[in-house]
Amino acid sequence: MKILNSISLRIILQRLLISLGVILFIRIGSFLPIPGINHTDLALYIQNNPFARNIVSTFSGKDTFVIGLFTLNIFPYINASIFIQLIVAFSPSLAKLQKEGDLNARRSLNRLTRFVTLIWAIIQSIGLGLYLRPILFNWNTQLLLEIVVWLTTGAMIVLWLSELVTDYGLGNGASLLIYTNIVSSFPNLCKTLITENLDNLTLPSIIIISGLIILSLCGIVLLQEGVRRIPIISSKQLNQRRVGSSNLINNYIPVRLNQAGVMPIILTTTVLVLPGYISNLGIFPQLNLPISNIGLLGKITYWVFYFGLILLFSSFYSTIVLNPKDIADQLQKMAVTIPGIRPGVQTTFYLKKVMNRLTVLGAVILALLATLPNVIEVILQISSLNGLSTTSLLIMAGVLVDISKEVDDIIYSNIYKKKYI
């Protein structure tokens, strides 16, 4: 057993070192300035322009005043993955490819995702280069092309490194990189929270904030791990039951409480933030409607709209992830039924009813958790708490749960090899 534990520990440490090494390399590359840009002028402009600071901090992190080689990080791949998932819902050929699930189908989808990642990286590089035009005195077409080449190359290197982490490291590469970006912003968030709210932070408010954060974490774990088990039985098990056999395996379909993950929040935030970004660029200035900054009534209106959009996107995205008709067809092909429910149309209606209930419940919990920081800010009269977003906490919880499961898989696989091989 000690030998087995040492083998498992060695494998886990090797994978952990690979993940940490890649993350450290990417973090260093994010602060390696690309040539052709006067970063002194850039830093001065970013400090004096809140919109520019938001743009750069989205990619590089808060209080970062440099356009580095890995500035785009894993974001082009994330955007490409979201785009592919949305396209699959409307493309029968891609949907068929995804349903096949064999090695060739996965490779085809991976190649398509990498190609779309390249396109997204070029688009984001061009957008960032065009935005730097009024800042850089030596801006020209050649400099724009150089910026696009450097940033696109960096984004594809990050994608390759993230796939190495997924294959040979500990955890999912893309998720770990997002997790690292979130964790790296926590010190600045805590510093800002304390400095801006030093007069308003009292012992009762700290207790309330701590209690609500703990409550949020419990809700997030419930969203991540909550499952409704729908029992199923095969024709063979049904015959065994008829002859009175007691050795029946309890099989079930696990339907998660939150099928859509953080996608509803991402899509909702995009819908609400995009008009403001377009307005700040000088295009359609009338789009900038700061509803959340015009008093309590405006904030309530904003939250209701935010709540409703999350419900809408949760329902839409859940149908993409899990289709009741497809599940019912698969069960019928395998001669598997839900006890008390006829195969075919009745099974489809039953699954749809169960999934709709779970989707509504999960969406309500997700929307409540998403608006909780804003509610705390208003009730306790504090600011900067919105940086501790539900999206960040959901991603962090998901990454930690996935890593713990991977560690368990390594340990159990070694036990199996020791016992049976």
Determine the Cα–Cα distance for residues 135 and 48; give it in Å rounded to an integer: 12
Q: What is the pLDDT of residue 379?
A: 67
Closest CA to 391 of 399, 380, 383: 399
- Which tokens belong to 401? 């749960």
Residue type, 8: S
- The architecture that CATH gives domain 196-388 is Orthogonal Bundle (1.10)
Determine the Cα–Cα distance for residues 89 and 98; give it in Å rounded to an integer: 10
pLDDT tens digits, residue range 176-205? 888 888 787 777 777 776 776 666 667 777
Closest CA to 292 of 196, 212, 378, 369: 378
**CATH 1.10.3370.10 residue spans of the chain:** 1-184, 196-388
pTM of the model as a whole: 0.76
Beta-carbon contacts of 309 under 8 Å, excluding residues fewer than 6 positions away, are 264, 267, 268, 271, 272
For 164, the 3-state DSSP assignment is helix
With beta carbons less than 8 A apart as the criterion, state whether 158 and 68 touch: no
CB hemisphere CA count around 118 (13 angstroms): 8
Q: What is the pLDDT of residue 222?
A: 79
pLDDT tens digits, residue range 225-260? 788 888 888 777 666 655 554 445 578 888 888 877
Q: What is the pLDDT of residue 292?
A: 46
CATH class of the structural domain 1-184: mainly alpha
Q: What is the pLDDT of residue 154?
A: 93
Distances (CA, A) of 90 to 79, 93, 237, 402: 17, 9, 38, 30
Mean pLDDT, each 10-residue run in order, the chain (421 residues) = 66 91 90 77 67 58 70 87 80 71 75 92 86 71 88 94 91 85 75 69 74 78 82 74 54 82 74 64 52 62 80 78 82 84 87 87 82 71 60 76 83 73 60
Q: Order across the sheet with 251-256: list the strands.
A: 251-256, 227-234, 336-337
